[in-house]
Amino acid sequence: MTPINGYHEAQAIQGGGEALPAGGYKCTIVKAYEDTSKNGRPMLDVCLDISDGDHKGYFSRLYRSRKELNDKDGKDTKWPCIMYLLADDEAVGRFKGAMKAIEDSNPGYSWENSGWKEETLKGKAVGVVFREEEYEKRDGSIGVTTRAAWMRNVDKVEEAAVPSRKKMRQSIAATDGIAVDNEQIPF
């Protein structure tokens, strides 16, 4: 094998690190911006960090670590905790619920009175409930991560029940290599 450029200077990465347990956390909104979903629906991306307790600054540390290891200038490093709030007629109730959680966590703040300006969300407190979610790893095996599930009043979030793990949709491979959802199988 040909030696890899920069091998001697590279920092060894062996995985592991701090894991975030599922549950309710007091958070701060780091940034919020308008975006479009993969399906073309309008949404608000809300970047979060934990602001209190044993895991305070968890996502800031994760961001810095990823930036240092992979992307020195930070241009391609994505914030590790983004809550995607769809912002259309189909999702209006969930969107309003998130805004109410932010308003309840920040006395005197009103999303509507802000003129729907997402930059006014920066620095606001909000409670966030995190749950475990399964995902498919590059090698095809199932991994588990912790992701933001929903927002709550910051004063009540630590009382929130820990939601069950979100499982991947199961599929089976037919002999001809076509994957079929279990829900499509008639037996």
Mean pLDDT, rounded, for 60-80: 81
Rounded Cα distance between 67 and 81, Å, is 14
- Which pLDDT score, from 0 to 100, does residue 115 have? 97
Q: What is the per-residue DSSP string for 45-83?
A: EEEEEE-SSTTTTHHHHHHHHHHHHH-TT-SSPPPS-EE
Query: What are the tens digits of pLDDT across the range 91-119?
Result: 999 999 999 999 999 999 999 999 999 99
Mean pLDDT, rounded, for 2-15: 65
Residues in contact with 176: Cβ distance below 8 Å, sequence separation at least 6, in sequence order: none
- Which pLDDT score, from 0 to 100, does residue 5 have? 76
- Which pLDDT score, from 0 to 100, does residue 177 have? 45
- Which pLDDT score, from 0 to 100, does residue 180 have? 44
Q: Answer with the residue of higher pLDDT: 10 or 185.
A: 10
Q: Answer with the residue of higher pLDDT: 101 or 70.
A: 101
The token duo for 138 is: 């590059």
The token duo for 7 is: 């091998």
Query: What are the tens digits of pLDDT across the range 131-170?
Result: 999 999 999 999 999 999 999 999 999 999 999 999 987 6
- Asked if residue 126 has pLDDT above 70, the reply is yes
What does pLDDT average to over the chain?
86
Record the pTM.
Answer: 0.79
Rounded Cα distance between 85 and 35, Å, is 10
- Which pLDDT score, from 0 to 100, does residue 73 have? 64
Q: Kindly indicate the confidence band of residue 29, based on its pLDDT and cuts at 50, 70 and 90.
A: very high
- Which pLDDT score, from 0 to 100, does residue 86 have? 97
- Asked if residue 76 has pLDDT above 80, the reply is no
